Every structure is written in C-alpha cells, then in structure tokens.
Structure 1
Amino acid sequence: MFKKVPLLRALKHDRWVRPYLHHYRKTLILAISLGIITFICGGGLMFCAGFLISKSATHPENILLVYVPIVLTRAFGIARPAFRYVERLVSHNWVLKMTSRLRQKLYDSLEEDATIFNSKYQLGDILGLLSDDVHHIQNFYLRTIFPMLVAWGLFAIIVIALGILSPLMGLWMLLVFALMIIAIPLWSVLVNGARQEYEKQVKDDLYVNLTDNVLGVGDWVLAGRGKEYLQLHDENELQVLATEKAMHRFERLRDFLVQMLVLLMAVSLLFWGAARFGGQPGGPANWIAAFVLAVFPLIDAFAPLPAAAQETNVYTKSLVRLNGLNAGQSVPTTNVPQLAGPYEIRVKDLHYTYPHTKRPVLRGIDLTIKPGEKLAILGKSGAGKSTLAALLRGDRVPTSGAVTLNGVATSQFGDHIAGYIGVINQQPYLFNTTVANNIRLGNEEASDDQVWDVLKRVGLAEMVKALPHGIETKVDEAGLRFSGGERHRLALARILLKDTPIVLLDEPTVGLDPITEQAVIDTILNQLAGKNLIWITHHLQGIERFDQVVFIEDGQLEMHGKPAELWANNARYRELKKADQGL
C-alpha cells in the first residue's frame, strides 16, 4: 500500500512529468491561453446575441446599436469553434507527446532493471502499471490541470471585469465562483476522492487475483474448487459495484449543488442588471439578457472541475508508483564468479513478500538440490510455486534468507544466470522466423549439424525434414504452425543446444492431452538425464521418476520427501496422486 502523498508533494519530487513541463512550457502556455480565449468567445457570443435579440425587439435609436452586435455575434460565433479546435490540437499534442515519452521511459526502465522491477511487482501489478498509470497521468492534464488553469484564468477575468462595473457585485461573484471552483472540488477530493482511490485499489487487486487465478485455473478445477473461484471473483466485483454506487450518489448531489449555484448566478445577474442599467435608454432588458445569457457558456469551464478534482488522489498514486520504479538499486552484476560443476542449489530460511502488496508469499522455505537431482514442486494456484522458481533463477531478491548456487546468491548473477539455468515455460514462444533461428536462441553459433542433432534428440527431425524448406522454413507468429507438444519439444531443443547444467520447467505440459503429455515428459527426462532438474507442476504424472517432491501451501512446505516415501507415509499425497489419475 502507498502512503497518501499530497499531489503537490508528489509533483515536487516528480522525475517523470516535471521535465516535460519545462521542456514544452511554451506549448502548455499556448494551450491554456487558447482555452481561456475559447470560453471568452463563447461568453461574448451569448452576450452579443442576448443584447441583439432584446434590442431588435425595440425601436433602436441608432442602426449601429443593432449592426455592431450582429458583426460581433458572427465574429464570436466563428472564433469560438476555431479556437476550440486549435486548443484541442495543441493540448492533446502536448499531452500525447509527453505520455509517449513516459511510456518509452517506462519500457526502458523495465528493460534496464528487469530484476528489480520483477521483484517489486507481480504480473497483475505490472498490467495495472502499464495499462492505468500512464493513462492516469494523461487524464490528469487533459481533465484536471488544463481545465483548472483555464477556469482560474476565467475566474480572474470575470471578477475583475464585474468589480470594475460594480465592486459589490465583483465581491459577490468572487464568493459564488469560489464555491464552485474551490469549495465543491475540495469536498469532492475529501469524500469521493477517497472512494475513487479505494475503487482503484480494488481493481488493482482484481488484476492480481484474476491473473493468478486464470493462469492457475487448472489447479482450481483439479481441486474441485470451481465454485469457490467464482465466489471469490464475485465478491471482488461486488466491492467495486458498491463503491461505484456510493460515488454516483455523491456525484448526483454534487451536480445538483453546482446547478443551484448556476441558478444563483443567473438570478444575481438578473437583479444586478436591472438595478445597474435600469436608467439606460430603452430600459434594462437589453443588458439583463446579455449578462444572464453570457453566464451559461462559461459554466462549461467551471462545472467539470469537482469531478476532475476528485481524481487527484488516483493521479497522485500513479505518479508516486511511476517515480518509485527506480527507487531501488540494481543488483550489481560485475565480477560475477565463474562457477565450476558440480552444481548445488541451497534454499535457506527463505521468505519473500511483494513490496507493493506487503503480502507474504513464501515463509521459511528450506531446500537442497544436489548435483544431478530432479526436484518436483507442487502446489495450488497462488501457493508460491512460480515465485520460488523466480527466486531460484535470481529474477527476484529474497526478502530474507538466501538462495545460492554453489554458495553464490543467484540474484547476483543478473543476465549471466542464463549460462547456468535454462528455462522452459508453460507456453514456449516461437518467433516468426525460421525453425533454425528459433532453436539457435540457445546458441547463436550453433551449426546446422548441431541444430539437426538436437531436433533428432527431441524427436522432431523427421517432422522438420518434411517442411517445405527444412530448418529454414519460417514458422507462423507465436509458432501456430506447430502443435502444443511440438512447441514444447522445440523449446527443449533450445535448452539442449544451450547445454545449461540446471533446467527449470514451469508447468511445461499444461494444456497437453494425456498421451502427448506423457510423451513430452519422457523426452524431457531422458534428454536431461544427469542435469539438475526443477519441475513446477500441478500434475503428478511421472512424479515417481523424481528424486524429491515438495508441496507448497500458503507459502510453506507442507510435504517434502521422495515419491515412494510420501506414497507410503503421507495420506494427502496418496489422495492427490489418485485424484490426478482419476481414481
């Protein structure tokens, strides 16, 4: 959870947006000026039209009293949409140019500091960051900063102009407009802004929960907890709906009060115009109509401010989160030790908590994976299996405890860890290039003979030979030319070409039918014999061929031992094994 930070303080320490405020300050000033001129033209149009209509209903003393308002009405009528169009072009150009730089900076931050970034955020949080935060910064300027500055400029002009005509009326309008652009927006920030911030937090939780649960939906189904999964999702949705209903009730009340203030302005100008211009030739009606009608287009500049102001809490949180991306220091990867085999992985009193959520994921994990040993990690969705895998590979830094490879913390290797640990994900990705290029991701210097050798080892040589151009055949985007089992075998071919001593497999057979799954398991275990093998799975098929089996639940090791020993001594393991086999 983020601490509540006032918007001004967030902007003061901002390293993302402030540079562009200075760099594009001329464009910013131009956009605000055009916005003020647009509303002045709108007010001038209605002022002249009101005067013209009422004046034309009487006998004008001079034709210029009608002709001049006609010309001004036409001039303001043309100028208003023209200035509005140019203002939208300038303001949106400024904002979109700024946010495009922000997105580029965000992606650069992810690329340059992937380990720290991944340690601070879960996948659902990253989706929220990428989809919401920069978008919120964009809306912050288009819906809050620009309209607020335009409104304040109009506020000053209106109060000064009316103050010159009548100091008392100027003071009255100062009070009424202040209620509309200061008091009610502040009320919205304090009341509805808090609800909106809570709504965003609930939606962020939905990102996390939905991501975790969808990726692990097989675990829910296998455990017979499908109804529980739907109930959990419905509860989160109901929280969002309840908050939205409360916000809508407040918004209706707030909008009613704003309309009452508009009515108060119109009535005030009506009586003031009658008193101030009652002695003018032709009566006060001409000026009453002009002043009263001039109010209505100006309201468009003031009425949206309360709704825009209440979102500043959300904008502040997004700004703080963006500025917090590089708050930590990258793990140094210089002078990485060159390790010699055999390789042993030790996990000692491992604890891990995501800094963003403060939710503990792993608690007190102790493991030793000896050279050449095969370890299977089991657990339901959200138990911490994938987090443990990321810690083993050094993609995350432990909150406390240690994960070491031959005594060196895996987080210290950085990108060099790829020379020791290879990974096969649950959905191996194939790029839209040749088969050979996809396999050579494991070793760019590999010859064609070496490529054919690993294809033969994974049982794909005959299939690839039958392709139009053999290993030079281009695959479709994401490898859709191949079946799921074939994509997994191609991923294994990459690993064989890389020849890393340790291989981590994250749900490598998910989505495969039982026959293909067993074939892929046999191929992987046969071809990776003698290597350290870490297998993350929710299926127990082929589990008896592993040296160790651990079951993680609520971030702790609930079962740990050899498959035969667990079958003999652990009733829960037997139940899981039978359920997996459909017995």
Structure 2
Amino acid sequence: MHPDTPPPSWTLSAQEPERPAQVRRILRLFRPYRGRLAVVGLLVAASALVSVASPFLLREILDTAIPDGRTGLLTLLALGMIAAAVVNSVFGVLQTLISTTVGQRVMHDLRTAVYDRLQRMPLAFFTRTRTGEVQSRIANDIGGMQATVTSTATSLVSNLTSVVATVVAMLALDWRLTVVSLLLLPLFVWVSRRVGAERKKITSERQKQMATMSAMVTESLSVSGILLGRTMGRSESLTQQFAQESERLVDLEVRSNMAGRWRMSTIGIVMAAMPALIYWAAGIALQSGGPAVSIGTLVAFVSLQQGLLRPTVSLLSTGVQVQTSLALFARIFEYLDLPIDITEPAEPVRLEKVRGEVRFDGVDFDYESPAPGASNGTAVNGTSVKGAPVNATSVNGTPAMDISKGAPVKGTLRGIDLTVPAGGSLAVVGPTGSGKTTLSYLVPRLYDVTGGRLLIDGVDVRDLDFDTLARAVGVVSQETYLFHASVGENLRFAKPDATDEEIVAAAEAAQIHDHIASLPDGYDTLVGERGYRFSGGEKQRLAIARTILRDPPVLILDEATSALDTRTEQAVQQAIDALSAGRTTITIAHRLSTVREADQIVVLDGGHIAERGTHEELLAMGGRYAALVRRDSHLAPVAPAV
C-alpha cells in the first residue's frame, strides 16, 4: 500500500547557501579527476621552481661572470636561463591541456546532471516554468562558468605556487626588501574581496535578465510566436519590448565590467611602482650605513618582484572571478536541488508482457503544489509575485489551483473508481475543467495520485519500473509535437531501431504514407519547427504512426481530434480506429461523435463521476450526457428519456 502522496515543492530558494558549503560542493565536482589534477599540481610546482631559478642565474651573471670575465660561466648561465624558459613553456602547455580537459569534463558533468534532473522533473514543473528560463540555466549559466571551471582552478594553484616560491626566493636574496614589497599585500586582498562581492551581486542580476530575454526570444521567435505577433499587429511592439530588455542587460554588463575597476587599476599602478620603491629602499639602507646590496642582487630582486606582480594580480582577479561564479553555481545548484516526486521504487516491478487492464481504485488528485518561487514571493524567472494571486495551470490549460487561497479548483479528482478491461475502451466526457485530461495523465504517471491507487494488470503504477510503464502506455494528445527533423527521424523517435518497412507500415496504418510519398524528399523531408510544414490532421496522423511503432497495449487519446475540421477528423478517426484495435483505449472526448462505440462512457463533473454507462444507456438516463449530446451537432437528436 502506498501512503497518500504529499504535495511536492518546486520552490527555488531565494536565500543563498552558506559560502563554505557551496565551495565544498563545487570542489566535489572535481573529485573524479583527482589524478589528473595531481599531475597539474606537480607541473605547477615544477614550473614555479624553474621560474624562480632565472633571477638567481641573472645575479650570478651580474655579480660574478661579467666582473670576473669568466666567459665559460657566462655561457653556461645564459644557456641555463634559456633552458629554464623552454622547460617552463613546455610545462605550461601540458598544464593547460590537462586543466582544460578536466574543466570541460566538469562542464559536461554539470550540463548532463542538470538535463537529467529536468528530464525527471514532474510535468507540473514545466507547466509553471518558462521554457526560456530552463534554456538559460543550461546555456547562459553553465556557459558563464566555463572560464572559471576550465582555467580558474588551475590558475589559482599556479599563481599561488608562484607567489609562494617567489616570496621564498626574495627572502633568500634580501629579507628587508621583501618586507617592504609585502607591506601593501593585505590592503590589496581587502580591495579584491570588496570588488568580488560587488560583482557577484551584479552577476546574479545579469543572469536573471539574460533568462528573461532568453524566454522572450523562445516565445516570440517561434513559428507560433511570429504568427501571433504579426496577425495581432504586435511585431513592432515586441521589438520595442526586446530593445528595452536589451538596454537593461547593457546597463548590467557595463556595471559588471566596471565594478571596482578603479580600485583594481590602483593596485596595478602601485605594483608597477614597486621597483622604484625597492631602489629607494636600497639607497636609503646604504646611506644609513647598512650593508650594501649588490647590483646583481638588486636586479635579481626587482626581476623576482616583477615576476610576483603577475601572479599576485591574477590571484586577486581570480578571487573576483570566483565570487562572480558563485552566483552562477548557486543558480545551477537550485535546479540540481529541486525535488523529484515521481521516482522509481528501489525494487520496481517489471512486467514482460502487459495485458492492459487499467483500474482506478478510489483515486484522488489535487494540484496542491505551489508554483516555483510562489512561497517566497519570487517566480522562477525572478519576477516578484509576492502579494499577488498565482493561478497554477496544468497541461492544455486545465485550471489547477488558486495558490493564493490554497483551495483546490477545477481539475481536482475525488473518489474515482473505474475498471477498463484489457482490450476494452473507456470514453471520458465532461465540461471544460472537469478533470478529464488530469485523469488521463495519471495513467502514464505524468502526475502521481494523491490518494487511492491506479493499477495496470493489478500492479500499482508507482511500483512499476519506468521502462515497463513507458512500453505499456502510449499517448496521442491534441497538441502534436514534432522535432525539427525529417519525417523518418520523428517516427523513429518512438522506436530507434525500427526498419524502413516498419516505418512505412505504421504510416500506412495511420493513413499518412501516401502524403509522405508524394513529398519530393519522402521520409527525408524536414517537418520544420514544430512540424509547421504539415497541417493539423497530417501531424496527428504522424503522431498516430509514431504510436503504432511503439505498439503499446494501453492507449490514451487526449482530445486527439477536437481541433480538426469534420473532413480531417474523419480521416484521423480512421487512423485512430486502426491504432485502437486490440488495445485498452481511454479516450478523452470533446466531440461526442468519437465515443459512441466505447464499451463504457464516464461523465466527469467537478472531479467526480457523475454518470457512467454505454452511449444508449446514458441517453436513456436523460442526464448530463444526454444534455451534452444535444449540444453536439455531430449526433442525431436524442430520444426522449424513459
């Protein structure tokens, strides 16, 4: 027995996670690549040691080889400096190759993890989240982290190692000059932290704005969006709206790039002026009677100091980049932390052969989960909704629930008891919002029941493994979705290993083969964005052919002909009849002409079963079904109730 399913929460947290925990989580992403990172660490250490060797060689040239006229020593030291440069370059190339590979693998892991999480999210999440918002998380947010993931981690280690090695070398040359060089370092660190915090805040705002623009592009530049904009005369208005959103992004980009720029430039100026400070300090020490600093030591020290400048500035910049990237990681982790309420049990039941009996046993269902962001006043796309009523909407526009009041509305189901024998047919009719589509979506587990059980061949669908359920149930909905690919590729989506003969046979059964064959490229014809090159009836028959290829024992027809004209409906209905033969069929009907031959008809009203029986029995009752028939122009007049 399953307990009643609690309502899930897909709320995106408006509160930032604690920084140490977030950093630890980021570091865990690199754990599978520890071996490669260890090699990078060795290369970095070796490179740092080779780099600091050159100033010591330079000191010996200036203090010993040249003054003493030792040509052999001079040649050896010069060759040593050249060799150090060559070795350092080779180490740098190998380091870049390995670190970039590791970074790109981490990016791949992140992308696939987010995509996998979204694939397993319930249907309600997608009905409440703008498509552009989802795309922005995968494209913009993960893409924005690329520089940090691929190079910043290695740069951090490399620069830190270089700084430590250089400081040690400077201390070995002259500890007094080293102290003078490091006096301002704490101030530099404080400035960079302030700049990083400022940029992190701006980055979060920028990514939200990019998500808004991505959603607008997705919605308004699709085939449907273009048609709507032009037929409503809103094309110019949409362009102006996009320009306004783009202006906001321009402002955020400028602010992001200029945040702390003057402070960081000041650090660069001070670092560049440090050699003059060292010369001054050496001169003061000599005039004060202190030990003299040799020309070689002084030049070598300034060389090391210049070598310290680049990694120090890079470290400060890396700190800023890391803080900026934390905002992007936070947005990605939000998606990875979304709860998945429809899961496969630890020990799922696998049915090798499904007969197709479907039974609703006291089924209840409510759309009670709040929309993402509703609980904290922030929608998924960052739009504030606090204090405003939020009306959740299910698939195909079925009203779900008034979140602001917390009360169930249309689309809620109560106490549904139904049995559809294997190979039998059930038609579900009722007014808009009575729960018809909701009922049908419970069978393939697009939603989970919140009370009672739904069984296929006596097994609760929540106990079945996903593969069994996918093989058992096929859905043909009113809105057919086709990929921007060829006809053949769209059909093979249902069965990737289908032969050409199987595809043709399915198309013939769906009465669409002749039309496909008449096209110049036949089954290689591109269907266009969302199948715009095909009419509604043709797309429906392609969807039916796709389902025939899958050959599911249970078939859900969700108002599959409601948007078609009468002539097209007849052609599609013939294809549906061929598809339904020998299968358990549940038909969600808008036009009652399609349900007369069903073994049983159920009338839903307000989420309850108001009537059930055959077409003739329900007509004889003279109730709700009879009233619906009287309004349906496709059927003959109703006989008087007995």
Structures share a fold, TM > 0.5? yes
1:245/1:402 Cα in 2 relative to 1: closer, same or farther (>3 Å)? farther
Q: Aligned equivalents of 2:47 and 2:124: distance in 1?
A: 40
2:618 corresponding residue in structure 1: none
Which of 74, 81, 93 is residue 73 of structure 1 equivalent to?
A: 81
Report SS of the residue matched to 1:372: strand
TM-superposed CA distance for 1:422, in Å, is 0.8
Residue identity matched to 2:524: D
Which of 193, 197, 200 is residue 204 of structure 2 equivalent to?
A: 197
Report SS of the residue matched to 2:446: coil
Please state which structure has a larger fraction of its residues in helix: 1
User: Would you say the 8 A contact 1:440–1:446 is kept in 2?
Assistant: no
Q: Aligned equivalents of 1:482 and 1:503: distance in 2?
A: 22
TM-superposed CA distance for 1:334, in Å, is 4.3
1:317 corresponding residue in structure 2: 330
1:146 corresponding residue in structure 2: 154
| 72-81 vs 523-532, greater mean Cα deviation | 523-532
User: Would you say the 8 A contact 2:103–2:151 is kept in 1?
Assistant: no
User: Would you say the 8 A contact 1:433–1:475 is kept in 2?
Assistant: yes
User: Following superposition of structure 1 onto structure 2, how do residues 462-541 of structure 1 map, counting pairs within 5 Å?
Assistant: 462-463=514-515, 475-476=523-524, 484-485=534-535, 486=538, 488-495=540-547, 498=552, 500-504=554-558, 520-525=568-573, 527-528=575-576
Residue identity matched to 2:195: S
1:269 corresponding residue in structure 2: 278
Structure 2 gaps of 5+ residues are 1-11, 381-389, 394-399, 402-408, 419-425, 596-602, 606-626, 634-642
Which of 31, 41, 60 is residue 19 of structure 1 equivalent to?
A: 31
Q: Aligned equivalents of 1:149 and 1:169: distance in 2?
A: 26
1:172 corresponding residue in structure 2: 180
Structure 1 gaps of 5+ residues are 379-385, 510-515, 536-541, 551-560, 568-583
Matched, 1:186 2:193: yes
Which of 126, 139, 147 is residue 131 of structure 1 equivalent to?
A: 139
Residue identity matched to 1:147: S
Matched, 1:248 2:257: yes
User: Following superposition of structure 1 onto structure 2, how do residues 558-569 of structure 1 map, counting pairs within 5 Å?
Assistant: none
2:512 corresponding residue in structure 1: 460
Residue identity matched to 2:16: K
Residue identity matched to 1:484: F
TM-superposed CA distance for 1:241, in Å, is 1.6
Which of 410, 422, 428 is residue 482 of structure 2 equivalent to?
A: 428
Question: How big is each residue's C-alpha offset from its partner over 1:403-454, in whole Å with a ceiling of 9 and x where there is no partner?
Answer: 9979999888756266445135544249879699749749989997x974x6
1:149/1:319 Cα in 2 relative to 1: closer, same or farther (>3 Å)? farther
TM-superposed CA distance for 1:197, in Å, is 2.0
TM-superposed CA distance for 1:84, in Å, is 1.6
TM-superposed CA distance for 1:194, in Å, is 1.1
1:5 corresponding residue in structure 2: 17
TM-superposed CA distance for 1:132, in Å, is 4.6
1:292 corresponding residue in structure 2: 302
Which of 42, 45, 60 is residue 30 of structure 1 equivalent to?
A: 42
1:495/1:154 Cα in 2 relative to 1: closer, same or farther (>3 Å)? closer
TM-superposed CA distance for 1:83, in Å, is 2.3
Q: Aligned equivalents of 1:506 and 1:277: distance in 2?
A: 95
TM-superposed CA distance for 1:543, in Å, is 8.7
TM-superposed CA distance for 1:78, in Å, is 2.2
Q: Aligned equivalents of 1:316 and 1:439: distance in 2?
A: 33
User: Following superposition of structure 1 onto structure 2, how do residues 51-62 of structure 1 map, counting pairs within 5 Å?
Assistant: 60-62=67-69
Q: Aligned equivalents of 1:81 and 1:55: distance in 2?
A: 27
1:517/1:88 Cα in 2 relative to 1: closer, same or farther (>3 Å)? farther
RMSD, aligned α-carbons? 5.6
Which of 370, 395, 413 is residue 446 of structure 2 equivalent to?
A: 395
Matched, 1:92 2:100: yes
1:466/1:484 Cα in 2 relative to 1: closer, same or farther (>3 Å)? closer
Q: Aligned equivalents of 2:249 and 2:364: distance in 1?
A: 40
1:123/1:46 Cα in 2 relative to 1: closer, same or farther (>3 Å)? farther
Report SS of the residue matched to 2:482: coil
User: Would you say the 8 A contact 2:114–2:336 is kept in 1?
Assistant: no
1:576 corresponding residue in structure 2: none
Q: Aligned equivalents of 1:61 and 1:282: distance in 2?
A: 20
Report SS of the residue matched to 2:427: coil
Report SS of the residue matched to 1:350: coil
TM-superposed CA distance for 1:377, in Å, is 7.8
User: Would you say the 8 A contact 1:122–1:208 is kept in 2?
Assistant: yes
Q: Aligned equivalents of 1:210 and 1:252: distance in 2?
A: 32
Residue identity matched to 2:544: L
User: Would you say the 8 A contact 1:389–1:504 is kept in 2?
Assistant: yes
1:135/1:224 Cα in 2 relative to 1: closer, same or farther (>3 Å)? closer
TM-score, normalization: structure 2? 0.62
